[in-house]
Amino acid sequence: MLKMNVQEFEENLESIVENIAKGEEPSLVTSPNGNVVVLSESSYRSMKETLYLMSQPGVREELLKSKDIDPNECVEYDPSKRW
């Protein structure tokens, strides 16, 4: 994570935003009043989705169990068929 103070952030705002939007890691902006993290919208949405899924009862456990499944034993999802 790139770390900078507010003045450095302001001076390089456009290039920092462009780099983060292109997939670069988030940036930490420090200030005397507290710090902020600047991240891409896609990273933010992904983080929110992960937090939501992990908050649902049973989802975390099912995801952890799925790590032990052999991918060769999986079948492709067919929406026309019932489970």
Alpha helices (H) in 1-83, listed in sequence order: 6-11, 13-21, 41-55, 59-66
pLDDT at position 83 is 63
Domains and CATH numbers, the chain: 2-38 (3.40.1620), 42-69 (no CATH)
The residue type of 70 is: D
**pTM of the predicted protein model:** 0.67
Which residues are CB-contacts of 24 (< 8 A; sequence separation ≥ 6)?
A: 2
DSSP reduced 3-state for 77: coil
Check if the beta carbon of residue 30 is closer than 8 Å to that of residue 6: yes
The chain-wide mean pLDDT, for the chain, equals 92
- Residues, the chain: 83
pLDDT tens per residue across span 14-42: 999 999 999 889 999 999 999 999 999 99
